[in-house]
Amino acid sequence: MTTPQDLPGEDEPWALSLVARVERDPAPAHTDVLVAAARAVVLLLTDERTTAPGGEFHDAVAAWRGRRIRKITRRARGARWGRTAQLPHVEARCGDAAVRAFAPHPREEVPALLGPLQVGGLDLADPEGFRVPPPAPGLLTVRLCPDVRMTTGKAAAQVGHAAQLAWEQLPAALTGPWAAGGFGVRVLTGAPVLPVGGRVDVRDGGFTEVPPGTVTASAGFEG
């Protein structure tokens, strides 16, 4: 299962904005930002403001879903991070990382509070001894391709894609327990271990950092 690369009738690109909180001290761990990003995307997709007809996010998400999957990761700290809370959003946390997901919008019509936030250059590291939890029932595993080098910002968008595809395409028998458990996610670098029918693969559109068609991530339930 892969992301659609060319959808007919896409009149203008839309994007979902993710904003990661990146303070100087303590700076969040790379993997914690990725976990928070993946959870933020699914929390937005399942929020009542998205799922209820007439909900605050409903129409924007519907318009965005009919196009290519585009997500843009920005970063903020201090007062700029605080101001983003004025916009409707969902927020996910992991360790010292926090990521907010906002309603999708036309790519050239970025909300004023998000527009000044830096898009490129977010590249964090994991501290020495950082450990990824083992697989468990109801825990989504996202595997980043070991042969593809990505910044934290780019990887955050890719794990967000993977979590979205897992929610939308994997069987309800698997996603139901995931939702009931609060959409737990673990992220690691490694080749897929699940068969094609038991996972989703993210094939990048090639807009930033990697060539078009590159498989950047896979996701499935390994527990």
User: Would 193 be classed as within a structural domain?
Assistant: yes
Q: Could you tell me if residue 32 is left (phi over 0), alpha (psi between -120 and 50 degrees) or otherwise beta?
A: alpha
User: Would 143 be classed as within a structural domain?
Assistant: yes
Per-residue pLDDT at 10 exceeds 80: no
Per-residue pLDDT at 123 exceeds 70: yes
User: Would 1 be classed as within a structural domain?
Assistant: no
- Cα distance between residue 86 and residue 171, in whole Å: 36
135 pLDDT band (50/70/90 cuts)? very high
- Give the residue, 96 or 120, on which the prediction is more confident: 96
What residues contact residue 3 under an 8 Å CB cut-off, 6+ apart?
68, 69, 161, 165, 202, 203, 204, 205
7 pLDDT band (50/70/90 cuts)? very low
- Give the residue, 193 or 4, on which the prediction is more confident: 193
Find tokens 């991070």 and name the residue. 81
Q: Pairing mode, if any, of strands 14-21 and 97-102? A: antiparallel
User: Would 212 be classed as within a structural domain?
Assistant: yes
Tens-place pLDDT, residues 53-82? 999 999 999 999 988 889 999 999 999 999
H or E element: which one contains 155?
helix 152-169
- Give the residue, 163 or 10, on which the prediction is more confident: 163
User: Would 74 be classed as within a structural domain?
Assistant: yes
User: Would 122 be classed as within a structural domain?
Assistant: no
- What is the percent of the chain where pLDDT is above 70? 93
Q: What would the two tokens of residue 214 be? A: 């590159």
- Cα distance between residue 102 and residue 52, in whole Å: 17
What residues contact residue 58 under an 8 Å CB cut-off, 6+ apart?
49, 50, 51, 52
User: Would 210 be classed as within a structural domain?
Assistant: yes
126 pLDDT band (50/70/90 cuts)? very high
Q: How many domains does the chain have?
A: 1
| Domain, as residue range, for 19 | 14-115+133-220
Find tokens 């898009």 and name the residue. 119
Tens-place pLDDT, residues 13-34? 999 999 999 998 889 999 999 9
Contact (Cβ atoms closer than 8 angstroms) between residue 144 and residue 216 = yes
4 pLDDT band (50/70/90 cuts)? very low
User: Would 53 be classed as within a structural domain?
Assistant: yes
**Number of residues written out for the chain:** 223
Q: What is the mean pLDDT of the chain?
A: 92
Contact (Cβ atoms closer than 8 angstroms) between residue 113 and residue 100 = no
Identify the pLDDT of residue 9.
46
Per-residue pLDDT at 220 exceeds 50: yes
Find tokens 């967000």 and name the residue. 160
